[in-house]
Amino acid sequence: MNDVFSPIRPTRASTEVIAQIRKAIFAGRYQPGDRLPPERQMAHQFAVSRVTVRDALRALEAGGLIEVRVGGQGGPYVSRPNVSQLSASLGTHLLLQGITFGELAEARLALETTAARLAAQKATSEDLVKLQDSIESRNASTAHGTADTSVDFHYALVSAAHNRALLALFMATTGLLRDAFYELHAEQPDMVESARITHRLLYEVIARRDGDEAVRLMRDHLYEFAERAERANSKKAPRARRVSEPAS
CATH value at residue 46? 1.10.10.10
Looking at residue 248, its pLDDT comes to: 38
Instruction: Count CB-CB contacts under 10 A for residue 111.
Output: 20
Measured CA to CA, the distance from residue 125 to residue 86 in angstroms comes to 28
Instruction: Note whether 63 and 88 are same-domain residues.
Output: no
Burial label for 204, CB within 10 Å (0-12, 13-18, 19+), is middle
* Domain co-membership, 133 together with 67: no
The dihedral of CA 177, 138, 168, 62: what is its sign? Answer: positive
One domain, residues 158 and 51: no
pLDDT at 63: 81
The answer to whether residues 140 and 180 belong to one domain is yes
pLDDT digit string, tens, across residues 40-64: 999 999 999 999 999 999 999 988 8
Give me the residues of the chain with pLDDT under 70, please: 1-2, 8-11, 83-91, 94-95, 138-144, 236-248
Statement to judge: residues 204 and 102 lie in one domain = yes
Q: Is the same domain home to 211 and 148?
A: yes
Residue 75 has a CB neighbour count (10 Å cut-off) of: 16
pTM, 2 dp: 0.68
Instruction: Note down the domain range covering 20.
Output: 10-78
Q: What CA–CA distance (Å, rounded) separates 90 from 135? A: 28
Residues 36 and 156 in one domain: no
- Please give the torsion angle defined by the CA atoms of residues 204, 214, 189 and 150, in that order, rounded to the nearest 10 degrees: 80
Residues 44 and 160 in one domain: no
Any domain includes 4:
no
Three-class DSSP category at 137: coil
Looking at the fold, whether 220 and 114 belong to one and the same domain comes out as yes
Tell me: do 73 and 168 sit in the same domain: no
State the pLDDT at residue 87: 63
Domain at 124, CATH number: 1.20.120.530
Are 154 and 119 part of one and the same domain? yes
DSSP state of 36: P
How many domains is the chain built from? Answer: 2
One domain for residues 74 and 103: no
Angle at 159 between CA 97 and CA 85, to 5 degrees: 45
Give the pLDDT of residue 78.
95
Residue 111 lies in a domain: yes
